[in-house]
Structure 1
Amino acid sequence: MRGNPVDRRSILAGLLASAATVSLSTRPASAQGDPLASWNEGPAKTAILNFVSAVTKEGTPDFVPASERIATFDNDGTLWCEQPMYVQLAFALDRVKALSGKHPEWRNKQPFKAVLDNDLATLAKAGEQGLVGLVMATHAGMTTAEFEKIASHWIATARHPKFGKLYTELVYQPMLELLAYLRSNGFKTFIVSGGGIEFMRPWTERVYGISPDQVVGSSIKTKFETNKGQPSLIRLPAVDFIDDGAGKPVGINSHIGRRPIAAFGNSDGDFQMLQWATAAGGRRFGLIVHHTDPEREYAYDRKSSFGRLDKALDAAQSNGWAVVGMKDDWKRVFSFQ
């Protein structure tokens, strides 16, 4: 599929819906010594420590009150593995296969046929309209409670094709440490992802320590209705909001209400969020996770079908953003390594 790059916005326009087995105990406490124990010594780690020290030291020009210490994190490729495809896309494809028995017409209808034939090259050519139709057929037409149950069961059982691990075991240990370190220094940490808000919310607190109200993501429209006196929210087959690219600062403004002083991403879909966080007065911090480790994870950037890192990588130096190379900057990628 690498030969047929898929635009992230096209994929995420469909992945609008929105358990976990990784315990928060895997995150070392700062009291246990080095708060970033899985980070190698170097410019990236030093930049993080210096930034946190500066904004938390009262009586200095760089001090930032705790109420304003907002840090935003992309999810796919920044906090957990996004290859060989976005996790929520894998969920959508599994849903097509699970529902195909009720829809024999899908056998001859694209892009459903491509999914059932495991033909990712054809799926990549479906475009935004095809992908939206595919995901709307599997993510909508049910209550929010029904969707949460389906998504939670899938995330608790589905396994990554390369590692054979649950997807929630493929979160980056260095980033778990970073989240814990920031919170121990008065930061409030938010996920700001192109993935579906209701897909992420059931498990982010147990995996990342980030509560559902601190998750910003893409969404589909919902409506309130009652059935025999019982109220429910129904998921509709229509796009509500795309939290990717230029949509991320908009989502931050709408959901958080404060401009972050730190932002963390890994792709061009995070470019505007990094700009928004760092192009303001006072001490600011931006960081890009660069996937450079084909042995422990994956190596990809400018030509990747998923998580393409091109424009943001070129802009990192001029904007003062730290670039973290997995191979050189992280002692380990996952907790099981």
Structure 2
Amino acid sequence: MTALSLSRRSVVAILGALPVISGSCLWSRVAFAQSTTPGTPLPSWSDGAIKQSILDFVTAVTREGSSDFVPPAERVATFDNDGTLWVEHPMYTQLVFALDRVKALAPQHPEWKDAQPFKAALEGDMKTLAASGERGLVALIMATHAGMSTSEFEKIVLEWITSARDPRWKRPYTELVYLPMVELLGFLRANGFQTFIVSGGGIEFMRPWTERIYGVPPDQVVGSSIKTKFEMRDGKPELLRLPEIDFIDDGPGKPVGINEHIGRRPIAAFGNSDGDLEMLQWATMAKGRRLGLIVHHTDGEREYSYDRDTKFGRLDKALDAAPSNGWSVASIKNDWKRVFSFQ
């Protein structure tokens, strides 16, 4: 599948319009279960400088009497989602969902066969779709996602998330979470940290399943959003999704989202792309012991290999900034014994 030539900021601005999911679902809990197993910390991480930097940081900030001690209430760690906690290639999962929705609704819209950008989406013509730019993707999203309540739309998304399969591994997308990072989430929480997801993805798309998969409850998820309004319909209260962007939680928007949703400055931040640069800066450029870590996709066999030359999850400026800021760069190939729980 060819990547779209669009900036991450453009994509997440549009995909913030994706819906809320609720109800029960047969999502995999394998990774989360393994992350809570007692024993040696971070078993899926290779022994070395990166793992040791995490262990040393946690020891320093949790040891009472230490000059680096941080009270539990201030132990805030923030994690990007796409490319940091689960896969973002060959394209963002929410974008896959959007394209699938166009195909599902096409029989009701025969005019889409000849109208762009719908024609390109139906034919899998990613080059033409990319050429339509942000305006084209907005047209796709608003034609297929707006004008209905969250409760009506969540049923559609629930069906998709339970049936959709990644094209490479033929597994549900909720199984494509990184076991080492799930272990890290559990390790931090076991040491008094609050772990927040701060992602460019849609906040309502993530909240319903993050607790099952990552152990992160809905109130600890920050993401991009669209505007919604309250309305009484047939005597029942509903939240209606409007075709307007509310907030973009990517790049410089991440520190803003952290401030608005969390109200505390993180002492640790974890990302994988230039979209996480400002979050890493905000978390680490302050007094006291701090930790910044970048997940570097270097394993084309077990996952994917990419950094500067990619349209999804580009890592360029943040990679250059890591040495001078003292951020750890974790190579998936060298620093992770396992990538997914099913491997």
Say whether the fold is shared (TM-score over 0.5).
yes
CA distance in 2, matches of 1:262, 1:197: 21
Question: Which residue of 2 is the match for residue 257 of structure 1?
Answer: 263
Contact 1:266 1:288 in 2 (8 A): yes
**TM-aligned CA deviation for residue 31 of structure 1:** 6.3
Q: Determine whether 1:133 maps to 2:139.
A: yes
Question: Which residue of 2 is the match for residue 183 of structure 1?
Answer: 189
CA distance in 2, matches of 1:312, 1:20: 36
CA distance in 2, matches of 1:31, 1:159: 28
**TM-aligned CA deviation for residue 27 of structure 1:** 3.9
Question: Which residue of 2 is the match for residue 332 of structure 1?
Answer: 338
CA distance in 1, matches of 2:286, 2:219: 25
Question: Which residue of 2 is the match for residue 6 of structure 1?
Answer: 6
Contact 2:31 2:213 in 1 (8 A): no
DSSP-derived class of the 2:12 partner: helix
Question: Which residue of 1 is the match for residue 199 of structure 2?
Answer: 193
Contact 2:98 2:141 in 1 (8 A): yes
Q: Would the alpha carbon gap of residues 20 and 168 (structure 1) be closer, same or farther in structure 2, given more than 3 Å must change?
A: farther
Contact 2:4 2:126 in 1 (8 A): no
Q: Would the alpha carbon gap of residues 15 and 123 (structure 1) be closer, same or farther in structure 2, given more than 3 Å must change?
A: same
Question: Which residue of 1 is the match for residue 322 of structure 2?
Answer: 316
CA distance in 1, matches of 2:199, 2:205: 11
1:1-337 correspondence to structure 2 within 5 Å? 5-16=5-16, 17-18=18-19, 19=25, 21-23=27-29, 26-28=32-34, 32-337=38-343
Cα-to-partner distance string for 1:110-142 (whole Å, 9 max, x where unaligned): 221111000112222221121122112222211
Q: Which amino acid aligns with 2:49?
A: P
Q: Which amino acid aligns with 1:300?
A: Y
How many residues align structurally? 337
**TM-aligned CA deviation for residue 324 of structure 1:** 0.5
Give unmatched runs, 5+ long, in structure 2. 20-24
**TM-aligned CA deviation for residue 37 of structure 1:** 0.3
Q: Which amino acid aligns with 1:84?
A: P
CA distance in 2, matches of 1:306, 1:276: 23
CA distance in 1, matches of 2:78, 2:227: 24
**TM-aligned CA deviation for residue 28 of structure 1:** 3.3
Contact 2:32 2:213 in 1 (8 A): no
Q: Would the alpha carbon gap of residues 28 and 4 (structure 1) be closer, same or farther in structure 2, given more than 3 Å must change?
A: closer
Q: Which moved more, 1:139-148 or 1:316-325?
A: 139-148
Cα-to-partner distance string for 1:237-271 (whole Å, 9 max, x where unaligned): 11011111111111111111111111100000111
Contact 1:27 1:176 in 2 (8 A): no
Give unmatched runs, 5+ long, in structure 1. none
Q: Which amino acid aligns with 1:169?
A: E
DSSP-derived class of the 1:28 partner: helix
Cα-to-partner distance string for 1:29-48 (whole Å, 9 max, x where unaligned): 56622120000011110000
DSSP-derived class of the 1:299 partner: coil
Contact 1:79 1:171 in 2 (8 A): yes
Q: Would the alpha carbon gap of residues 86 and 133 (structure 1) be closer, same or farther in structure 2, given more than 3 Å must change?
A: same
Q: Which amino acid aligns with 1:13?
A: A
**TM-aligned CA deviation for residue 153 of structure 1:** 2.1
Q: Which amino acid aligns with 1:328?
A: N
CA distance in 2, matches of 1:3, 1:194: 18
CA distance in 2, matches of 1:310, 1:300: 10
Cα-to-partner distance string for 1:62-85 (whole Å, 9 max, x where unaligned): 001100111110000000011000
Q: Which amino acid aligns with 1:297?
A: E
Q: Which moved more, 1:150-159 or 1:82-91?
A: 150-159
CA distance in 1, matches of 2:30, 2:219: 18
**TM-aligned CA deviation for residue 146 of structure 1:** 2.1
